[in-house]
Chain A
Amino acid sequence: MTRREIYTSIQQIPREEPLAGGTGLCGGCGGLLGLRLFHKALGANVVFVNAAGCLTLLTTFPYSPFRASWLYTAMASAPAGAQGIRDALDVLIARGTLAADEDLAVVVVSGDGAAGGIGLQATLAAIHRGLDFYYYCYDNEGFANTGFQMSPATPYGSRTATTPPGAAAPAGTTARKQDLFALWRAQRPAFVATVSPAHPLDLMDKVARARRLRGPKLFLSFAACAPGWGIEPARSVEVARLAVECGIWPVKEERDGAVVHTVVPHRRRPVEEYLRGQARYRHLFEPVRQDEVLRRLQADVDAYWAA
């Protein structure tokens, strides 16, 4: 585990909110919780570039909860929007038509469906070009905005609207969760990390450190989704904490070519404790317990931590 360098105490978290409350998103939206912390650490001079997803509804004419700027692009191309803004700022500053203090940090905000699916091409291309930008992906493990269908990030054994458990597929989702962290890492970006709103100091410290780096920077944030996962909104942070403690959501970053876990669950709890409280996993316990699926889910986590 690495030491936090910048955010070491909860007292350091600024009280000012760059993102006003009262948005149209669900209570306890894990994606929004993480974004709020991310924004606090990054500061006000930001432009968010958004791909279609739940957070698109943060700005609904004529309201915006942000002091910062916002551009909604399309589901497939937010990183290309970030490219255009970054390039324009650079060219205008270089040509002297824009003052250097008008510069902005460029942040893509999307869900896992856009990040790992339809938008993956634009993302990999932006990393390939070495674009200086942040990608904040809130991973709620499904297409939440359209009613919670399967996305590339949907975990094995869970229920979504397009992978309902049944005779043909008792486990629900049969595919394994896509490893976006590894996909990014393979291209050697400037920074790549997973974070969780249950660990705000870790999240904010990573943002503050990443600010020193130029290039593509991924923040893959755990994002509990109350309606999609079938949990009480009030349990959003608790479920995020359980995901870390059960070893399901490793909180990590890459440093000098090696993966470093920045929050380590020393006595890992059984994954069942995480699964039990969520309606999307209920079919694993009722009406009959699916031992084989549960065993595989635990084995996957054990194998990850054994490696």
Chain B
Amino acid sequence: MSATVDLLSGNRAAAWGARLADVDYVPAYPITPQTEIIETLAHWIGRGEMPARLVTLDSEHAMLTAAGAAAATGARVFTATSSQGLLYALEMLYAVAGWRVPLVLVNVSRALAAPITLEPDHNDVLAARDAGFLQLHAETCQEVLDSVLMAYRLAEHPDVLLPALVNLDGFHLSYTREPVAIPDPAAVRAFLPPYAPTHARFAASHAMAQGVAVLGSSAYAFFKYQMQRAMEAALDAHAAIASELGERFGRRYGATEGAWLDDAEHVIVMSNSFTTVGRAAVARLRQRGEKIGLLRLRLLRPFPHAEIAARLAGRRAVAVVDQNLSVGKGGILFAEVASALRDRAAPPLLSYVGGLGGRRFRDQELEQIAAALHVAEREGGSAEPRLLFTADEYAAVRDLLRIARGGEEAPR
């Protein structure tokens, strides 16, 4: 298959996904680290290289409203945000999912205020977990591009018709340049034909009432259960679309992805770009003879319960490493993975929370997790989250405070 390979940042890979998907409409609002996506699209559209319309809205709330309304009118719509922007749009995430419009929203993960920061973790995207958006989480820049194309196929699938969110990590992917194969537009068109909505849309000959009020719970539950069914159908649809993408472009993505899983007794579960760090650590541990493997979660909505359960069944111990914190609970993915395992003779589980606000995982930490898995195998797991925060880091914060106080020792 003809393709050009270029060095692309994750942001530009996302923009290429939108360009190749031949989107009609891009409502936009800037936020770091997502701006490069809309600036790239604005550049192409401005030069006439992309026949879409880009409009800057007054907020992400308005941006998503415009996106959903345009999609309900029959346009293929792309938009992107991050962090505070995603939260600002949250009311409309629920609304457009309820409208059943198959738009694609890229989220460039960034941790949430307060304190305000620019660096990534996943509390933004996981706050949108329950809205009714499909969620695809990318590990590499190539996967970002491919996921945007897959997201349209999945969202527009007649059994699904739900909006999709593609997540990439701020800074770690958004600004990291990697070699990315940019598929030939004709090949993409064969994989992703132009959007032709067969369900209702706004046009003079198609009077439609959308997003209407319901009186009473029966109608409300009826619509919500339909969304649940659509999400369930998306699991099979994803598998079919992934194998088609594999045949056409030679790159295959599963709902989950394993590494060294075949004979692994211990498994570390991760998601997004930090999986690359985890993968390297697991490779080193393997060289030392550890029977350890890695499971990456790629599709978080719909949640592939059965696949996760099957891939973790029979392991001696499993650790879930979350890059988010549900304050007062712990790791969000830990709870999700644990729920997927409840029907089986579940292996002992450990919960780790780290990488908050962009903090990198350290090799020793993954080694400590590997060691803890041996202990868990003997002594059982625990749902208590273990927070990755070292004495060094604590000392660094105290140093900052001491300097700010003109040398005075900070209170503990």
The interface residues of chain B lying within 8 Å CB-to-CB of A90 are: 53
Indicate if A102 sits at the interface (CB-CB under 8 A): yes
Question: How many residues does chain B have at the interface if contact means C-beta atoms less than 8 Å apart?
Answer: 45
Q: Give bound CA distance, A254 to B74, whole Å.
A: 36
Check A64–B209 contact: CB distance below 8 A. Answer: yes
Q: Give bound CA distance, A79 to B205, whole Å.
A: 23
Residues of B139-197 at the interface with A, using a CB-CB cut-off of 8 Å, are 194
Check B59–A121 contact: CB distance below 8 A. Answer: yes
Indicate if A57 sits at the interface (CB-CB under 8 A): yes
Check B58–A60 contact: CB distance below 8 A. Answer: no
Indicate if A80 sits at the interface (CB-CB under 8 A): yes
Check A88–B75 contact: CB distance below 8 A. Answer: yes
Check B204–A84 contact: CB distance below 8 A. Answer: no
The interface residues of chain B lying within 8 Å CB-to-CB of A85 are: 69-70, 72-73, 202
Number of residue pairs A-B, CB distance < 8 angstroms: 159
CB distance from B199 to the nearest CB of A (A): 14
Indicate if B380 sits at the interface (CB-CB under 8 A): no
Q: Which of B61, B95, B207, B214 lies at the interface centre, i.e. has the most chain A CB atoms within 10 A of its CB?
A: B207
The interface residues of chain B lying within 8 Å CB-to-CB of A57 are: 213
A77's partner among B24, B65, B73 (CB-CB below 8 A) is B65
Which of A31-39, A67-75, A176-184, A189-197 lines the interface with chain B? A67-75
Chain B residue nearest to A128 in the complex (CB):
B58
Give 1 or 0 for each of B202-246: 1 = CB within 8 Å of chain A CB: 111111111111110001000000000000000000000000000
The interface residues of chain A lying within 8 Å CB-to-CB of B62 are: 76-77, 79-80, 83, 121-122, 125
Check B202–A97 contact: CB distance below 8 A. Answer: no
CB distance from B245 to the nearest CB of A (A): 25
Indicate if B27 sits at the interface (CB-CB under 8 A): yes
Indicate if B52 sits at the interface (CB-CB under 8 A): yes
Residues of A81-119 at the interface with B, using a CB-CB cut-off of 8 Å, are 81-85, 87-92, 95, 97-98, 101-104
Check A92–B213 contact: CB distance below 8 A. Answer: no
Indicate if B7 sits at the interface (CB-CB under 8 A): no
The interface residues of chain A lying within 8 Å CB-to-CB of B58 are: 80, 121-122, 124-125
Give 1 or 0 for each of B42-68: 1 = CB within 8 Å of chain A CB: 000000000111010111011101111
Indicate if A156 sits at the interface (CB-CB under 8 A): no
Q: Which of A69, A85, A104 lies at the interface centre, i.e. has the most chain B CB atoms within 10 A of its CB?
A: A69
Check A64–B74 contact: CB distance below 8 A. Answer: no
CB distance from A72 to the nearest CB of B (A): 4
A59's partner among B63, B65, B95, B212 (CB-CB below 8 A) is B212
Chain B residue nearest to A56 in the complex (CB):
B213
Q: Give bound CA distance, A97 to B22, whole Å.
A: 13
The interface residues of chain B lying within 8 Å CB-to-CB of A49 are: 69
B66's partner among A87, A92, A98 (CB-CB below 8 A) is A87
Indicate if A235 sits at the interface (CB-CB under 8 A): no
Q: Give bound CA distance, A76 to B59, whole Å.
A: 11
- Bin chain A's interface residue count: 35 or more
Q: Give bound CA distance, A144 to B411, whole Å.
A: 53
CB distance from B59 to the nearest CB of A (A): 7
B63's partner among A56, A69, A80, A98 (CB-CB below 8 A) is A80
Known: A66-B207, A97-B194. A47 touches B202 (CB 8 A): yes
Indicate if B91 sits at the interface (CB-CB under 8 A): yes
A84's partner among B67, B194, B212, B215 (CB-CB below 8 A) is B67
Check A81–B66 contact: CB distance below 8 A. Answer: yes
Indicate if A45 sits at the interface (CB-CB under 8 A): yes
Check B68–A104 contact: CB distance below 8 A. Answer: no
Known: A91-B24, A91-B52. A83 touches B66 (CB 8 A): yes
B69's partner among A67, A71, A92, A129 (CB-CB below 8 A) is A71
The interface residues of chain B lying within 8 Å CB-to-CB of A68 are: 207
The interface residues of chain A lying within 8 Å CB-to-CB of B270 are: none
Q: Which of B68, B203, B205 lies at the interface centre, i.e. has the most chain A CB atoms within 10 A of its CB?
A: B203
Q: Which of A78, A81, A85, A129 lies at the interface centre, i.e. has the most chain B CB atoms within 10 A of its CB?
A: A81
Check B213–A59 contact: CB distance below 8 A. Answer: yes
Known: A91-B24, A92-B74, A103-B204. A77 touches B92 (CB 8 A): yes
Check B211–A72 contact: CB distance below 8 A. Answer: yes
CB distance from B81 to the nearest CB of A (A): 14
The interface residues of chain B lying within 8 Å CB-to-CB of A98 are: 74, 203
Give 1 or 0 for each of B64-108: 1 = CB within 8 Å of chain A CB: 011111111111010000000000000110010001000000000
Indicate if B274 sits at the interface (CB-CB under 8 A): no
Check B213–A87 contact: CB distance below 8 A. Answer: no
Q: Give bound CA distance, A45 to B27, whole Å.
A: 25
Q: Give bound CA distance, A87 to B206, whole Å.
A: 17
Indicate if B133 sits at the interface (CB-CB under 8 A): no
Q: Give bound CA distance, A102 to B202, whole Å.
A: 9
CB distance from B18 to the nearest CB of A (A): 14
Check B207–A73 contact: CB distance below 8 A. Answer: no
Chain B residue nearest to A47 in the complex (CB):
B202
The interface residues of chain A lying within 8 Å CB-to-CB of B73 are: 84-85, 88-89, 92
Indicate if B25 sits at the interface (CB-CB under 8 A): yes
Check A83–B57 contact: CB distance below 8 A. Answer: yes
Check B66–A104 contact: CB distance below 8 A. Answer: no
Q: Give bound CA distance, A74 to B89, whole Å.
A: 11
CB distance from A121 to the nearest CB of B (A): 6
The interface residues of chain A lying within 8 Å CB-to-CB of B214 are: 60-61
Check B215–A60 contact: CB distance below 8 A. Answer: yes
CB distance from A70 to the nearest CB of B (A): 4
Check A83–B69 contact: CB distance below 8 A. Answer: yes
Q: Give bound CA distance, A220 to B62, whole Å.
A: 22
Show 18 residue pairs from A and B whose CB-CB distance is below 8 angstroms, ordered by the A residue. A59-B213, A64-B212, A71-B72, A72-B210, A77-B92, A80-B61, A80-B62, A80-B65, A80-B69, A83-B55, A85-B70, A88-B69, A88-B73, A91-B25, A102-B203, A121-B58, A121-B59, A121-B62
Given A61-B219, A71-B69, A80-B63, 6 more A-B residue pairs with CB atoms under 8 Å apart are: A73-B95, A74-B61, A77-B61, A77-B65, A88-B75, A98-B74
